[in-house]
Chain A
Amino acid sequence: MEVIARLEHVTKTYGKVVALDAVSLTVSRGVTAVLGPNGAGKSTMIELLSGLRRPTGGRVEVLGGDPGDLAVKARIGITPQRTALPWRLTVAETLDLLAAHYPKPLTRDEVVQRLDLGEFLHKRNGTLSGGQRRRVALGAALIGNPELLFLDEPTSGLDADSRDRLWAAIAEVSAGGRGVLLTTHDMAEAEHLAGRIVVIAGGKVARDGSLDDVIVEVGLHLVDIEVPDGTSPLTFTTIPAERVEQLGNRTRIYTADPDATVRALVLDRVPFRGIRVERVGLEEAIRAITAGDGDSVIPVSPAVPQLAERVS
């Protein structure tokens, strides 16, 4: 597969904080989703690839050149995490201003149609709703007809309709043979759009592969049991589990060895009346991979813990 951007042993530090730690990664055509908790280094990666920042160490190459080169900038598009629009200019004025900087831009009408911007085309950006602004921001990224698109949490805070519309536009861009690198906290977004998942944790690439690859590699399963109401407290002995959640009379056990977990539940005579065993989805897989990193820390013990919880 053709590589259109690459990071080679890239390190980025802010003072004593290491945002990216010797990261090597290639980006190909199609949609690549970069996932990870807040502070994992996702936005930094986009800022380095878009030429907004320079790496502390290593090498960044985009479309065969340095991302800071004007010739490279002319071939990429970006929506930063913070919506960046001139509040007192209209949508039309904004798109026209940006289009004038690119050698082969899309027409304003093409962008307006693709993102359904017509109804507020002549309104000032500052008067638009959050969802409308996000659509305009994506339009601002597309107007230059980029070969490679960087989207930093493009649908964050949007309602379902606006989100679906943006997803459709992103999918259309990708189907046209362009590369799209997006960061997101929305697993449904990654599942819906991305052919490839890159998980960043602690400034390093923790996983890189297809959606199925990432989930299978993590190898985490959910054992979901339901106990009858009024069941007297039970004492677990040794249960293989990575994490346990209790929701009323249901207990969700995340485990790397579902057979052993179920066997232990039976041996412990846990009086469950229903049990469901399944491979976890992307969200749980990412939690497991990024545990201990960033702001959303979910502790996962690699060892088999003693479970002291009781089902009430």
Chain B
Amino acid sequence: MRHVLLHARAHLRDTSRMPVYWVPALLFPLVFFGLFGYTNAASLAKIGLGSEYVITPFLLFTTLNVTIVSLSAGVAADRENPWEQRLRLLPLPALSRFAGRLLYVLGFNLVSWIPLLTLAVFTTDLKLPLAQWPVWLGAVLLGAIPFGLLGMAIGYRFPPQGAMTVANILFMLLAFLGGLFVPVSQLPAAIRDVVVYLPTHEYQHLVLAIIGRADRIAAPLWTIGVLAAWTLLFAWLARTAFRRDEGVRYG
């Protein structure tokens, strides 16, 4: 665990010294929420609903952007870096380096939420009791793990430019179909039937349900089961992509 933390800290240090990376990551959700979310939050407030219904999709959107797109681009770029080769020669299982990277992404997510949540707290009708905040944000963080594995799978499978493209397509597709852009009820019927199998949809459901704001009644086991199944699939894809890359690069 010590090595996992060390590698996570090294990644965070590295990123903190690269404003070109973290400034857009922090500003993007802020601008996006200002343009599209703020008015929705105001509308909900008029009918007595808390802004958490609107803020949650934006929070997830921010998290998925960092976890899928940024992570995959970072992994793909690092594969070309001699430092990555040097790390491979350390007496450390590859899994520890992966875990360190995943932990770093989760940590960076915490930072990326600060502007959005600050804006939301001061300008919207966010009615979350103080005790629910850690549960709410904890669910967002834990629910991001399968998407981190997807980001790694893409990063190890594609070259940097390709990884960015594939990650963006999948990210947008999953976000849209998962109901992060428009409510699922407004999607075509054929899509509505399958969204309950999608990780993004169940991710959003988990995060809302855990603070008692779910828009449907679903057995917790279903949500957790779907997310667990996707976690396994993405973990397998990440492992396969890594092994393939090892074979090509170091075989």
Contacts and interface: CB of A to CB of B under 8 A. Distances in A.
Q: Chain A contact residues (Cβ within 8 angstroms of B): what range? A: 20 to 34
B169 interface: no
B110 interface: no
Interface in B1-42: 2-3, 6, 10, 13-14, 17-18
A162 to B, nearest CB: 19
A52 B92 contact: no
User: Which among B10, B13, B83, B92 has the greatest number of chain A C-beta atoms within 10 A?
Assistant: B83
Given A52-B89, A98-B90, A100-B3, A86 B10 contact: yes
A78 B87 CA distance: 11
A70 B18 CA distance: 32
User: Which among B13, B82, B86, B88 has the greatest number of chain A C-beta atoms within 10 A?
Assistant: B86
A124 interface: yes
B48 interface: no
Contact of A140 (B3, B85, B86, B251): B86
B92 A97 contact: no
A54 B250 contact: yes
Interface residues of B, number: 21
Given A98-B90, A102-B91, A89 B10 contact: yes
Nearest to A73: B91
B85 A52 contact: yes
A238 B169 CA distance: 74
A70 B10 CA distance: 21
A80 interface: yes
A272 B89 CA distance: 58
Interface in A52-96: 52-54, 70-71, 73-74, 76, 78, 80, 82-86, 88-89, 93
B82 A93 contact: no
Nearest to A74: B91
B82 A70 contact: no
Contacts of A83: 82
Interface of B: 2-3, 6, 10, 13-14, 17-18, 81-83, 85-86, 88-93, 250-251
Interchain residue pairs A-B with the least CB separation, the first 4: A84-B82, A84-B86, A74-B91, A73-B91
Interface of A: 47, 50-54, 70-71, 73-74, 76, 78, 80, 82-86, 88-89, 93, 97-98, 100-102, 124, 140
